């Protein structure tokens, strides 16, 4: 007998005499002479209908325990279904109940539950349509990301999770320590971190970029894809304390080629999901956000608009809109500005380049104007910034000057500077927040609902 998953049964429709399938009951329907079970095993969003003929006394005995949430194994013949909703159904000959789910206690009832409630039962929410679909899309996107880079011979580099450097100089870091917090070793009144596990202060990484650059400056194109941590004291629908980031770093690559890669990459992975996750994407389109698939199809077919920061500011100054943050050359673009540009002005993804140096990180390549740097952000409708990147400063003296200007300690960056001292090369890269991407693809409103176990300010359940 063939053991099959629901996805294969529904696509292959093998009208054979005996099939075995296992899963969890989603719903049941009962009539005088028949009973129906909708079975889901996670392989696909669609359920398999199981038909029970009540003339079979053995099966009838089981019916009281065939309730929502129970796990079963069913055997029988696959037959064409007379009902309109499905092509095939399994005519049960034998059913084994693997685990009951007491109907009055099971937390997932037939009705639609709020996402807030489902976050409280993160151990059961993967059994809902929405979280099953999010999980399969997340998986497909991960695979597509690796596929894109592997096909182009980028090396996958594992950068450290514990680090002694603060990449962006941005703070917001989680400190890692084994020092006894109730009895800290002190030296002249200050905490003596030389007694800590690593002999110095250490943190969870906020980005793998600087380490990624080391490998790009030796082996050519590389990418990272790993967890990232930020102690963001914010309760927004776009920020997590633990999220995943993809950071390619390209050798012998300028800003233009960086933008080209970012555009090709986004279109490739979105196209992959549209092609390989059609049933899940149709579900999001119907239940989460109408028009999501059309927007994504348009993006895959589009050529991104490219403008400079200065041009973007000019567009915003022309706008007859009252922005919450007033527009002026030099401001950091807020998401209201970014959304206005992609949704109202260009109605297209937009890549903005050449930002004022004051609002960008120290490692970005200085333009000849000495005012702007070779940074680029990719903006998309609804989300705003989805990718941030730059060409890196490759000139040792310019980089040192920038560190001084920002009052950063040169000694902390000694190895980063040596990459410029010995055999420096033009190189560029960007970062994509994985959960922001999944939000964009699925239309899910809250970032906590696109990662299996969200960690955010004041919450780390499960
Ligand atoms: P934001 O302004 O939205 O906080 P950022 O400027 O801090 O973003 P970067 O430091 O450029 O973001 O990080 C690179 C990418 O990582 C961002 O484009 C975004 O997709 C993602 N990202 C940043 N912070 C978070 C977070 N707290 N949770 C989830 N994703 C994040
Ligand atoms: Mn941030």
Q: Which domains does the chain have, with CATH numbers?
A: 2-99 (2.40.50.140), 125-170+206-449 (3.30.930.10)
In the predicted structure, residue 166 carries a pLDDT above the cut 60: no
* Number of the ligand closest to the Cα of 246: 1
The tokens describing 397, both together, are 């003296």
pLDDT band at 17 (very low <50, low <70, confident <90, very high): confident
The pLDDT of residue 170:
58
Mean pLDDT for the stretch of residues 294-304: 96
**Which residue has the least CA distance to atom 8 on ligand 1?**
385
Q: Closest Cα to residue 271, out of 141, 114, 423, 131?
A: 141
86 pLDDT band, cuts 50/70/90, is: confident
State both tokens at 3. 């053991």
Does position 279 have pLDDT exceeding 90, yes or no?
yes
Index of the ligand 1 atom closest to the CA of residue 245: 16
35, pLDDT greater than 70:
yes
Mean pLDDT (whole number) for 431-452: 97
Neighbours of 291 (CB within 10 A): 10
Task: Identify the pLDDT of residue 336.
Answer: 94
Closest ligand to C-alpha of residue 450 is 1
Whether 427 is in the pocket of ligand 1, judged by its Cβ within 6 Å, is: no
Determine whether the shortest distance from the Cβ of 435 to ligand 1 is under 6 A. Answer: yes
Q: Which of 206, 375, 433 to mutate to test the pocket of ligand 1 (most atoms within 8 A of CB)?
A: 433
Q: Tell me the HSE value of 237 on the side-chain side, using a 13 A CA sphere.
A: 13
Is the distance from the beta carbon of residue 385 to the nearest atom of ligand 1 less than 6 Å? Answer: yes
Which pLDDT score, from 0 to 100, does residue 169 have? Answer: 54
Q: For residue 280, what pLDDT is reported?
A: 98
CB neighbours of 445 closer than 8 A, spacing ≥ 6? 115, 237, 439
Give the pLDDT band of residue 339 (cuts 50, 70, 90): very high
In this prediction, residue 240 carries a pLDDT of 96
Other beta carbons less than 10 A from residue 77's beta carbon: 15
Question: What's residue 82's pLDDT?
Answer: 87
Q: pLDDT of 200-228, one tens digit each? A: 999 999 999 999 999 999 999 999 999 99
Q: For ligand 1, is residue 69 a contact (CB within 6 Å)?
A: no
Read off the pLDDT of residues 122-142 as tens digits, 9 standing for 90 and up.
999 999 999 999 999 999 999
Ligand found nearest the CA of 230: 1
For residue 176, the tally of other CB atoms under 10 A from its CB is 17
Ligand 1 neighbourhood includes 433 CB (under 6 angstroms)? yes
Q: Whose CA is nearest to atom 6 of ligand 1?
A: 388
The span from the CA of 67 to the CA of 85, in Å, is 21
First-to-last alpha carbon distance for the chain, in angstroms, is 39
What is the reported pTM?
0.95
What pLDDT was estimated at residue 425? 98
Tell me: pLDDT of 276 over 70: yes
> Separation of 329 CA from ligand 2 center, angstroms?
21
Residue 83 has pLDDT above 80, yes or no: no
Measured in degrees and rounded to the nearest 5, phi and psi for residue 129 equal -55, -50
Residue nearest to atom 26 of ligand 1 (CA): 239
Structure confidence at residue 274 (pLDDT): 98
- Expressed in angstroms and rounded, the spacing between residue 234 Cα and the centre of ligand 2 is 10
Query: In three state form, how does the secondary structure of 166-232 look?
Result: CCCCCCCCCEECCCCCCCCCEECCEECHHHCCCCCCEEECCCCHHHHHHHHHHHCCEEEEEEEECCC
Q: How far is the CA of 382 from the centre of ligand 2 (A)?
A: 17
Mutate to test the pocket of ligand 1, among 166, 431, 451 (most ligand atoms within 8 A of CB): 431
């Amino acid at each position: 007998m063939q053991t099959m998953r629901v996805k294969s049964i529904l696509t292959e429709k093998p009208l054979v005499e005996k099939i075995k399938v296992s899963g969890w009951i989603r719903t049941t329907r009962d009539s005088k002479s028949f009973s129906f079970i909708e079975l889901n095993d996670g392989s696909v969003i669609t359920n398999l209908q199981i038909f029970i003929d009540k003339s079979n006394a053995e099966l009838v005995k089981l019916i009281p325990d065939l309730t929502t949430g129970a796990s079963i194994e069913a055997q029988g013949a696959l037959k064409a279904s007379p009902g309109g909703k499905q092509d095939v159904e399994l005519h049960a000959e034998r059913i084994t109940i693997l685990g009951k789910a007491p109907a009055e206690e099971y937390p997932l009832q037939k009705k639609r539950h709020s996402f807030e409630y489902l976050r409280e039962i993160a151990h059961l929410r993967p059994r809902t349509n929405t979280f099953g679909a999010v999980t399969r899309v997340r998986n497909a996107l991960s695979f597509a990301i690796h596929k894109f880079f592997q096909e182009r011979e980028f090396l996958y580099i594992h950068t450290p999770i514990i680090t002694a450097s603060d990449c962006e100089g941005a703070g917001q870091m989680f400190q890692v320590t084994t020092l006894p917090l109730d009895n800290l070793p002190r030296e002249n009144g200050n905490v003596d971190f030389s007694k800590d596990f690593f002999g110095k202060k250490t943190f969870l990484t906020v980005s793998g970029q600087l380490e990624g650059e080391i490998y790009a400056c030796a082996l050519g194109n590389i990418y990272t894809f790993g967890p990232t941590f930020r102690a963001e004291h914010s309760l927004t629908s776009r920020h997590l304390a633990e999220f995943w980031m993809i950071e390619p770093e390209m050798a012998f690559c300028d800003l233009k080629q960086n933008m080209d890669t970012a555009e090709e990459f986004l279109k490739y992975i979105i196209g992959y999901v549209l092609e390989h996750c059609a049933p899940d994407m149709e579900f999001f389109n119907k239940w989460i956000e109408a028009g999501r698939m059309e927007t994504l199809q348009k993006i895959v077919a589009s050529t991104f608009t490219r403008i400079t920061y200065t041009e973007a500011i000019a567009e915003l100054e022309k706008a007859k809109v009252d922005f919450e943050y007033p527009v002026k050359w030099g401001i950091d673009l807020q998401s209201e500005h970014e959304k206005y540009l992609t949704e109202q002005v260009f109605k297209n993804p937009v890549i903005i380049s050449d930002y004022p140096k004051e609002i960008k990180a120290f490692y970005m390549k200085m333009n000849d104007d000495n005012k702007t740097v070779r940074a680029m952000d990719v903006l998309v409708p609804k989300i705003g910034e989805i990718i941030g990147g730059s060409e890196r400063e490759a000139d040792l003296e310019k980089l040192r000057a920038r560190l001084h200007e920002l009052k950063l300690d040169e000694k902390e960056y000694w190895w980063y500077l040596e990459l410029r001292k010995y055999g420096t090369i033009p190189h560029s890269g960007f970062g994509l927040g994985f959960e922001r991407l999944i939000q964009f693809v699925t239309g899910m409103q809250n970032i906590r609902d696109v990662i299996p176990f969200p960690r955010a300010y004041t919450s780390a359940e499960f």
